[in-house]
Amino acid sequence: MTKNAVTIIIVALGLLGCSSAEQETPTQAIQEIIKLYEIRNFDALIRTRYAEISKTTNEQQVASLITRFTTRFGDEATLSQAIETYKAALQITPEISEAGQVATFQLDQGFIKLSRMSDGKWGFHL
């Protein structure tokens, strides 16, 4: 019985350490962000990938951000440009800060900066 209990504990500890968010790379985050833009799911984009979502104090502020994104990227040209910019980042190895909390993708036309969020995922800034 003791051997089974030890096995269960080891398996449980292994599963706890294998969270996909903890293992996510900045490049994987960019891929997920692109998917959300492509399907125009700005609700999920803001709620799961906006690095400063924790600074919102109520649902009205979150809804306002979602509305801003829906309006801004409702224009096909603007949406396509955003998607292409993120796709360009996929070709670049990001610079990771010393503390491992910020990833910067330096592009020809600027940069994309992602920050590690409290849930372990990487999120963008406005």
Kindly give the confidence (pLDDT) of every residue in the chain, 126 residues in length, as a single tens digit, with 9 standing for 90 and above.
444 444 343 333 333 444 444 589 999 999 999 999 999 999 999 999 999 999 999 999 999 999 999 999 999 999 999 999 999 999 999 999 999 999 999 999 899 999 999 999 999 998
Enumerate residues 6+ apart whose C-beta is below 8 A from 31: 90
* pLDDT value of residue 23: 86
The domain total for the chain is: 1
CA separation, residue 77 to residues 14, 20, 54, 73, 124 (Å) = 45, 33, 30, 8, 21
pTM: 0.81
Locate 1 and state its tokens.
């019985």
CA distance 26 to 41: 20
* pLDDT value of residue 32: 98
Tracing tokens 């089974």 back to the chain, one arrives at: 4
* pLDDT value of residue 107: 97
- Is 55 inside any structural domain? yes
* pLDDT value of residue 109: 86
- Is 11 inside any structural domain? no
- Domain hosting residue 100, numbered range: 25-124
Paired strand residues for 111 = 106
- Is 10 inside any structural domain? no
